[in-house]
Amino acid sequence: MMSVSSSSVVSAAQVSMASVYISVGSNIDPAVNIRSAINELNQYYAGLLISSVYESEAVGFAGDNFYNLVVGFDTDQDVYEVAKVLRKIEDGRARDRKGPKYSSRTIDLDLLLYDDEIINHDGLNIPRDEICQNAFVLWPLAEIAGDRVHPQIGHTFAAMWSEYEKESQSIWPIEFSWG
């Protein structure tokens, strides 16, 4: 029989990890800004799960095409701490928050999902409405989290993507160099 000291036993409540998914987008020097944002995310969160990179036309305004992807990770931070980290990374890339809602971005990091939480408080809207509205969010999310179920709709992201009206928005996967 193996003995374990009580100091080495950690309860599940102490190590509660949340599964988080964020969308990443840029249409201002997008390759550089996406690479640097992912590198910084990697400093905060281990084991990033990164979708393919997709290019899409700007939605809601006339502008340069966007590069988009979705990143997943597990964290013991609460949802507000994660939101704070994302904002810090955006600010570090000269994100302009004074312009219109739909405008060009150096980097846009949107918190899509935090476990199966439904949050509409203090500026957080989780799950993000964009999951159901925009191909540039749903396609990469379905790619890396296809079996996960949308906490409000009750369908998997893979099923949602298969039913999405793909002609409504132009999006295509691209070759992307991380080096």
pLDDT digits (tens, 9 = 90+) for 88-133: 999 887 656 576 666 678 899 999 999 999 999 988 999 999 999 9
Does residue 94 fall inside a structural domain? yes
* Whether the Cβ atoms of residue 111 and residue 97 lie closer than 8 Å to each other: no
Q: What is the mean pLDDT of the chain?
A: 89
Strand partners, 173: 54
pLDDT value at residue 91: 84
Count of C-beta atoms within a 10 Å radius of residue 48: 13
Query: What does the pLDDT look like over 28-61, one tens digit per residue?
Result: 999 999 999 999 999 999 999 999 999 999 887 7
**DSSP alpha helix (H) spans, 56-147:** 79-91, 130-133, 135-145
- Euclidean distance between CA atoms 83 and 16, whole angstroms: 18
pLDDT value at residue 175: 96
Does residue 88 fall inside a structural domain? yes
Strand partners, 125: 120
Does residue 1 fall inside a structural domain? no
Structural domain boundaries, residue 51: 16-172
User: Structurally, how many domains does the chain consist of?
Assistant: 1
Strand partners, 164: none
Does residue 6 fall inside a structural domain? no
Does residue 117 fall inside a structural domain? yes
Query: What is the biggest distance separating any 2 CA atoms in the chain, rounded to whole angstroms?
Result: 69
Tell me which H or E stretch contains 72.
strand 66-75
Query: What does the pLDDT look like over 138-163, one tens digit per residue?
Result: 999 999 999 999 999 999 999 999 99
The secondary structure of the chain in percent helix, strand, coil, rounded to multiples of 5, reads: 35, 25, 40
pTM: 0.88
For residue 15, pLDDT beyond 70:
no
CATH assignment of the domain containing 112: 3.30.70.560
Does residue 9 fall inside a structural domain? no
Q: Which residues are CB-neighbours of 103 under 8 A, at least 6 positions away?
A: 61, 63, 96
Count of C-beta atoms within a 10 Å radius of residue 151: 14
Do the bridges between strand 53-56 and strand 171-174 make them parallel or antiparallel, or are there none, so unpaired?
Answer: antiparallel
